[in-house]
A and B are shown apart, each in its own frame.
Chain A
Amino acid sequence: MGTTASQLRKDLLSEYQVVMHVFFRAHKRFSELLSKEDRNVPTPRVPMEKVLSLPELKSNPFRKRICHVFSTSDMKDGSLTFEDFLDLLSAFSDSATLEIKSHYAFRIFDFDDDGTLDGGDLEKLVNCLTGETDDTRLTTEEMRQLISNILEESDIDKDGTVNLSEFQHVISRSPDFVRSVQI
């Protein structure tokens, strides 16, 4: 803990305090995930498997998507630096606003990363929600009915996909959302 603390310069520290909410505890959790040799690297990167071992994420059906969304790695392997980790914790904290949470939730649900939620994204989303095994999935008929209902309710410009503004419009009518997107 001593070596990693000295790596953070004083000016960076004050900046983090201005911009982030929970800082010191987050750093402790992050350095627990690092392996011994990574600790002395200037910007250490935790591989996705280690991040997925966190108790809060271990059984979350969206864990892989969460890692991909917050990762800034060029190789798209879902690894997180400390800054990415802070972004993740901040977005899921209880003081993050509805705008931040809905923005990140949209990106998490966008399985093919094309900026909109189309039928394929919605189907994968529903399967994550109900469970991946065969006996917990909805039947094809029910899935079709459900997706057409969702698109009818939330697709305002009728282009067959749900974009961010339409998503945020649906979210704004749900008062439980801010409390449920919390780790």
Chain B
Amino acid sequence: MEFSELQRPSSTIAQQLVRLRSKSVVSNQNGPQFNWGSPPSEGGEEGDSGPPKDLRERPMTMRLKRAIREVQQMRVPVVTRWQSWKRSKAKSLSRFRTDAGGVMSYVALWRKALHKIGGHFGGGVQSYFMFLRFLVVLNFLSFLLIAGFILIPSIVFRSTSTRNMTVDSTGPEVCKVYDPNLQGLVVFYQYFLDLLSGTGFMEYSYMFYGYYNNTVAESSGFHYNLPLAYLLTSVFYFAFCLICIIARMGSALRVAVATGSGAAGSYSKMVFTGWDYGCQGDRATKLKQKSIHYQLQVDLEEERLQKKALSLTLGQTVGLCSLRIFLMLISLALIGGAFFGIFKATVFSQVQVGAEGILGLFWVYLPSIVITTGNFVVPFMCDQIALFERYSPSTTIIVALFRSVFLRMISLGVLLFTLWSQITCFKDSPKCELCQYNNKEYPCWETRVGQEMYKLALFDFLITIAMLILVEFPRRLFVDHYSCVLTRWVGRQEFLVPPNVLGLVYGQTVVWTGALFCPLLPLINTLKFFILFYCKKVTLFSNCRPAVKTFRSTTSTIFFLVVLLFGWGLALVAMIYSLAQIHPSMSCGPFRSLTMMWSIVPNTFYTLSLTTQDFIFYMGSQAFSIPLFIFSCVVLCYVAALATVYGKSVDLLKAQLKLEGRDKQFLVKQIEELSREMGVPTRDQLDTFDTGAAN
């Protein structure tokens, strides 16, 4: 506002002051600033088509947008033919992209079901089901990979078995004895038992490693080395899964890193972004309100507790710390006890091979039973211990989760370790002297390992279904139809996301470990997770009440994928050990003629032409790899520097916001002073003027 304007009559000044006051309060914050002079071709700030995207981004009413578009269309932009062609192509490309996106989301698996789940139970539960869907798709794609490179060539070569060559293994004859017990007529229930334990008719089939031959098919220019394909497909399967997980984690991590830690600003975030407008129905709304209420109360209480904890005396702090350490040791002891139990059960089960009937089935399933029992009992007891540790609620959840992850993954690792030590006989050397593996008990040890993994996967699935039918449905019926103190205390089942996710990760880790030995395991897992989706959905809607304490969805996705990576790492270790350390069985499988599974790769490598060999040697040599390493270090440093710069610019902008607020207040004060000096009515006097006029 210039001084010359102050020369005008006072009423105009008064009007302008009123406008200034309302403007300073409303317009800069509510009215988006649109540059009416901008030509329509300037919409390329995001590299997309011009006016439509620009206008759509603006929070203005329809009338305004239409007016702007009329103004823009009146200005005829002077552009070359090349530019107009480019712009029209860009417009049609973006339209095609939106249409394709629409079609893809329509075709996406379970889209409506996920939407319904999210609306009724919130983002945390929905993220569990989205994780499940991701695993189904991952397993299915892996199965296609394996079927294409291993299964179908194997079937083809088996049916045209004339022109292929199989290399016979060298070694003692006794190692090559493998009789997979193909009986003609068996008792009818034997089929059922065989289905559950992977023996009998299932053992010598495409299901397990032992059935595949080490055929190298040669016919008129077509050369297919089945053992090499088997190995490389397994390795590539692991790499493929890793890439999928990292790609999925990438977008979530990017958002999490950009927004910084969730701790700061949590109250404002909860209040401003807490409401889910997709909630429909009175029941869902009331539940959401209750959960927000609970969340706010818990956080406020946690803050009060923290303030109190800071004021603890030294003696009390020391006492609390020692209590926590003691309880942590107890929980570790519990977990160690579970591991010991699994070890003993596995050894015992391997000894008992050959028992018949239901008892035989029980011995065969003993390791799975012990693992599952441990996975139920130990976390429950750790939860009871956690009540005494007196951590804050959020820390308690994280500690409990990490304990469960540790328990599950390491129990699987103990099982694998036990199996491996049995096969390669760490303790009894005489058994393994002849064939470098325990050929008496394991004539085809890879099939046995595959069977163990198959049993684990199947048992996990059966237990989940049994829990559903025998525990959750009856609980709901009991709670709904009888009302006594017990039912009110127990209440309906709450769908707890972390234990369910750990179950999924455990199942997937079992599949990864077993895929080398049981190529059809990804297919079985696809079917298992597919059925599990529907079962869990049914139990969610019929038996569960929504969790009062909700799980934040983006950080939980990252957590699920990190835990999945743990499982992947464990399976990778198992696979590397099997490939590189243990002598493959001489009686079965595609690697029967080799001393190590991995040696097929160097063997084939040396049959390549010399130039290819030299090229690959060069890629592995220092002259190539060291510059590559230095280059990737440089890229890493650049990206890290970029991230720090962005963080600093966020701080600078925040400081600028502060300064702008102060500038505004300073200017308004100046105007008031000047207007007082000039004898013009001030803001307060205008207020009374307004109310007086209204009256």
Whole-angstrom CA separation of A179 from B56 in the bound complex: 18
Does A138 contact B293, Cβ atoms closer than 8 Å? yes
Stretch at the interface among B22-30, B219-227, B507-515, B622-630: B22-30
Secondary structure at chain B's binding surface: helix, strand, loop or mixed?
A: helix
Contacts of A126 in B (CB 8 A): 271, 296
User: Number of residues in B with C-beta < 8 Å to the partner?
Assistant: 63
Q: Closest residue of chain B to A81, judged by CB?
A: B62
What is the minimal beta-carbon distance from B432 to any residue of chain A, in angstroms?
55
Interface residues of A in 48-68 (CB under 8 A from B): 55-56, 58-62
- Chain A residues within an 8 Å CB radius of B286: 131
Residue A138 contacts which of B65, B272, B282, B296 (CB distance < 8 angstroms)? B296
Interface residues of B in 256-275 (CB under 8 A from A): 256, 259-260, 264-269, 271-275
- Shortest beta-carbon distance from B618 to chain A in Å: 45
Tell whether A92 is near chain B: CB-to-CB under 8 Å: yes
With A131-B290, A165-B657 as known contacts, state yes or no: A173 contacts B259, CB within 8 Å.
yes
Query: Which of A83, A129, A145 contacts B271, CB < 8 Å?
Result: A129
Query: Is B57 close to A, CB under 8 A?
Result: yes
Q: Which of A136-153 contact B (CB under 8 A)?
A: 136, 138, 142, 145-146, 149-150, 153
- Chain B residues lying within 8 Å of A91, measured Cβ to Cβ, are 59
Q: A176 is contacted by which of B51, B58, B265, B273 (Cβ under 8 Å)?
A: B273
A residues in contact with B280, CB < 8 Å: 55-56, 59
From A109, A131, A150, A180, B276 is in contact (CB under 8 Å) with A180
Question: Which residues 110-154 of A sit at the B interface, judged by CB distance below 8 A?
Answer: 114-116, 122, 125-126, 129-131, 136, 138, 142, 145-146, 149-150, 153-154
Confirm or deny: A163 has a beta carbon within 8 angstroms of a beta carbon on chain B.
yes
A150 to B66, CA, bound (A): 38
- Distance in angstroms between the alpha carbons of A125 and B289 in the assembled complex: 12
| A115-B25 CB under 8 A given contacts A159-B661, A170-B268, A173-B259 | yes
Residue B552 interfacial (CB < 8 Å): yes
Does B300 have its Cβ within 8 Å of any Cβ on chain A?
yes
Cβ-defined contact, B259 with A172, below 8 A: yes
* Cβ < 8 Å to A, chain B residues 55-69: 55-59, 61-63, 65-66, 69
Q: Looking across the interface, which residue of chain A has its beta carbon closest to that of B657? A: A156
By a CB distance below 8 angstroms, the chain B residues around A167 are 272
The answer to whether residues A84 and B57 also contact, given A116-B29, A130-B296 and a CB cut-off of 8 A, is no
Contact of A84 among B61, B65, B256 (CB under 8 A): B61
User: A139–B272 Cα gap in the complex (Å)?
Assistant: 20
- The minimal Cβ–Cβ distance linking B311 to chain A, given in whole angstroms, is 17
Shortest B307–chain A CB gap in Å is 11
A176:B553 contact, CB within 8 angstroms: yes
Among candidates B29, B52, B281, residue contacting A164 with C-beta atoms closer than 8 Å:
B29
- Please encode chain B, from 621 to 657, with 1 for each CB lying within 8 Å of some chain A CB and 0 for all others: 0000000000000000000000000000000001001
Shortest distance in angstroms between A64's beta carbon and chain B's nearest beta carbon?
A: 14
* Interface membership of B660, Cβ < 8 A: yes
> B657 contacts A169, CB within 8 Å?
yes
A61-95 CB contact bits vs B (8 Å, 1 = yes)? Answer: 11000000000100000000001101100111001
Which chain A positions have C-beta within 8 A of B274? 129
5 new A-B contacts, CB < 8 A, other than A142-B297, A173-B259, A173-B265, are A18-B52, A100-B57, A122-B271, A149-B267, A153-B265
List, sorted by A's number, 17 A–B pairs whose CB atoms are closer than 8 Å: A18-B52, A59-B284, A59-B285, A60-B277, A61-B285, A83-B63, A100-B57, A109-B272, A129-B271, A130-B293, A131-B290, A136-B290, A154-B265, A162-B268, A169-B654, A180-B275, A182-B277
Point out residues on B near A: beta carbons under 8 Å: 25-26, 29-30, 32, 51-52, 55-59, 61-63, 65-66, 69, 98, 123, 255-256, 259-260, 264-269, 271-282, 284-286, 289-290, 292-293, 296-297, 300, 303, 552-554, 654, 657-658, 660-662, 665
